Structure 1
Amino acid sequence: MNIEDFIIPAPEIKTENWQLGHFIKREIIENSIVLLFVSDFRGAKGSGESQDFRRVRKQLYKLSHLQLETTVCDLGDLISGKTIEDTHYVLQEFLSLCHYKNAVPVIIGGSNDLAFSLFSALNFHQKNISYTQINSKIELGNVADTLSEKNFLTKILSSKNLSVENYHHLAYQKHLNPLESVDLIKDVDFDIIRLAEMMNVTEKAEPFFRKADLVTVNCDAIESFAESFSIHPQVNGLNRREICAYMQEIGLGENLRSVGIFNFNFDAENVLNHQLLAQMIWYLILGIDLQNSHPKERFYETFHVLVKDENYTFKRDTFKNLWYFGSDDKIENCLPCSHLDYEAAKKENLTQRLLNFLNK
């Protein structure tokens, strides 16, 4: 199958020589960031008709290149298949090509169920995937139903063929979710973080991006302003500054292999919506580039905390000032945590997440 037969090339957009668009490539290059725009919203009961991505591209292309060392590619727009299953199939083929070249694919647009394809394609190349999702809702629909945004997560978590090591659900809103869904995620020891815990600062949620292989962002988790930002708009959600800060944190993830940004409202007339999406992508690119420039060899300070006569070990990355919990000599066997977790431990309060890690 020739993937080029299913993609409309990105249009040429006039830019100045200091802007990102001046440097963007049009093919998959090894160790690059590859953008692909997708129009298929049938998983959210929308249509598969071609969307107008030019407004977002204009806003993205005119942002500063900042002498990024990581190559950015814009492959174009994926043509929707006759069925949504066809779209998922072609998308997985594209994602697999990126993984073979050690490129990070960034899928922009389409409905949230496309996260299933991102997970499936990555699962072909590696096992024990750590998946972090930003989504105001916890959708756990019937696994027997046709794949949609309502049940894609159930299909991922219940499949014998998909290997989930960790799942983190961020920015859920209590008033939008049945208590049973929240309890189920907690019962299986997956991490779940409320929107209120993510506002103003990124420190508490950052550990859930640090080792993530796959991150997807449902635009429904971002507050709408002026007009609908997403296809299921919410008055409450992460604000403009917060989501850009989190996009950079996503890019800074040490194991990041794939990213999806779904449910954006491309029909929005207000330029600010397209500007925000463009800047979200830009901060993601910046984060990935910064992570690629960081030294591979790290040094750690060790801290011991006594809690009820038990000794617990925390470690701090001296270069990035990031914290870990655990005494293992191999840092990959320690749990990413925050400085807040360390401060709480000094007050003899180990968080439930740290306790769960000790019991594994």
Structure 2
Amino acid sequence: MNFNFLSPVSDSVLAHSELLSQQTLGRKFKIHSEQHGMPDIDEVQLAIIGVKENRNDVNYIGAELNFDDIRKTLYSLFPGNWHTIIADLGDIEPGESAEDSYFALRTTVELLVEKKIIPIIIGGSQDLTYANYRAYDNLQPMVNIVNVDTNFDLGDTSLPIKNNSYFGKIILEEPYNLFNYSTIGYQTYFNSQEEIDLMERLYFEAYRLGEVSNNINSVEPVMRDAHIVTVDLKSVRAAEVGERLKFTPNGLDGKEICAITRYAGISNKVSSFGIYEYHYEPKDTITAMLLAQMIWYFIEGVNCRVKDDDFTNANNYLKYNVLIENEELIFFKSIKTGRWWIEIPFLANLNNKLKKHTLLPCTHEDYIAATEGKIPERWYKAYRKNNF
């Protein structure tokens, strides 16, 4: 396969890895090195990629990126009881322009996803999510994105793309492949009322920081429906990260962000995962450790995936019908895992995006609420978007 855009993992990381226990991740990864070249990835299921592109950061002042500390920390961790084969394919260096870097990332992600390999992207600025999304143009017709962030990143789409406006470009630029967008952990005072209203009008989902912190399990069904998960490190509170990443005193703590990345890994649909807005600072061991643990938990989640959404065999699920006013809501519960789904009906006379009955992940609490006469908000938004 053609991975010409990727430069090898640095010799200093490899030398560090040589001193580690045989049981650590660094001794188990397949690694792209100067000496041995690109590893054979035929049996690989997850691939780590660094992208040293941050020129479209609104605060860019020429700072360079270096992911060696993250790699050294990740390599020194011990794996869980995992069955997946993992590769570190090295870094995409900055191109002549940011658009060149986008092209390199888009091409690389498309090759990996086509091969059923999940890319784990460590990035500079979060506008790289745009390139990640465009990698799906030839892969599937409709894509769901989940963004763990303080902001919606809609921005002013009349201006060139930036890390605070990339999502507006995703909505407005052809081809229109986006079906759903969810933001987890947003903080109201960082978003204009116009943006909040637009999210409502487009029937996108937004979960405030307080909601997420009070019930971290609410993230699971949202992740279960995602294809792309993008994490902005600014969503993590200042106390958890190094000096150059201190953005806000309020945010997700280390345990919460790791739980969220684990939910992303567990999702059978998630086929690419990115962590962005890393700002390199020498000897910033705390941020490197946080990123390493986030990646560890994502990999742990992938290793815990269970195929429980086959509803062709009635022995695999329980079905519940709930009448609310004129609506019949149909719930499914997996016998294997106990996870829940709700059916979004297809209306044949409308030019909708789904063209079939679609099952939307939900929670047991959604079912209980329906039995008490309350229509679940996720169902309502998906239903309206389907008929939009």
**Contact 2:238–2:246 at 8 Å: present in 1 too?**
no
Distance change (3 Å), C-alpha of 1:289 and 1:155: same
| Secondary structure of 2:175's aligned partner | coil
Q: Are 1:38 and 2:51 an aligned pair?
A: yes
Q: Partners of 1:355 and 1:49 in 2: how far apart? A: 45
**Contact 1:314–1:325 at 8 Å: present in 2 too?**
yes
Distance change (3 Å), C-alpha of 1:97 and 1:182: same
Supply the RMSD in Å over aligned alpha carbons. 2.6
Distance change (3 Å), C-alpha of 1:140 and 1:5: closer
Q: Are 1:189 and 2:203 an aligned pair?
A: yes
Please state how far the C-alpha of 1:74 moved relative to its aligned partner. 0.5
Aligned AA (1:316): K
Identify which of 22, 41, 44 aligns with 1:29: 41
Name 1:4's counterpart in structure 2.
4
Distance change (3 Å), C-alpha of 1:182 and 1:225: same
Distance change (3 Å), C-alpha of 1:2 and 1:48: farther
Q: Partners of 1:144 and 1:28 in 2: how far apart? A: 43
Please state how far the C-alpha of 1:342 moved relative to its aligned partner. 1.5
Q: Are 1:246 and 2:246 an aligned pair?
A: no
Identify which of 295, 298, 302 aligns with 1:288: 302
Q: Partners of 2:164 and 2:299 in 1: how far apart? A: 29
Q: Partners of 2:374 and 2:114 in 1: how far apart? A: 44
Q: Partners of 2:216 and 2:230 in 1: how far apart? A: 17
Name 1:325's counterpart in structure 2.
342
Identify which of 73, 76, 80 aligns with 1:62: 76
Aligned AA (2:52): S
Q: Partners of 1:336 and 1:350 in 2: how far apart? A: 14
Q: Are 1:256 and 2:270 an aligned pair?
A: yes
Please state how far the C-alpha of 1:216 moved relative to its aligned partner. 0.4
**Contact 1:325–1:354 at 8 Å: present in 2 too?**
yes
Please state how far the C-alpha of 1:163 moved relative to its aligned partner. 0.7
Aligned residue pairs total 359
Distance change (3 Å), C-alpha of 1:225 and 1:124: same
Name 1:275's counterpart in structure 2.
289
Identify which of 296, 313, 320 aligns with 1:303: 320
Q: Partners of 1:197 and 1:307 in 2: how far apart? A: 26
Q: Partners of 1:73 and 1:48 in 2: how far apart? A: 30
Q: Which moved more, 1:348-357 or 1:84-93?
A: 348-357
Q: Which moved more, 1:18-27 or 1:141-150?
A: 141-150
Please state how far the C-alpha of 1:187 moved relative to its aligned partner. 0.4
| Secondary structure of 2:337's aligned partner | coil
Q: Are 1:110 and 2:110 an aligned pair?
A: no
Q: Partners of 2:5 and 2:371 in 1: how far apart? A: 59
**Contact 2:119–2:273 at 8 Å: present in 1 too?**
yes
Please state how far the C-alpha of 1:178 moved relative to its aligned partner. 0.6
Q: Are 1:209 and 2:216 an aligned pair?
A: no
Identify which of 8, 12, 22 aligns with 1:17: 22
Q: Partners of 1:165 and 1:185 in 2: how far apart? A: 13
Structure 2 unaligned segments of length 5 or more: list them. 32-38, 347-355
Identity %: 27
Deviation track 1:336-357 (CA, whole Å, cap 9, x = no partner) reads: 1112211222222223332334
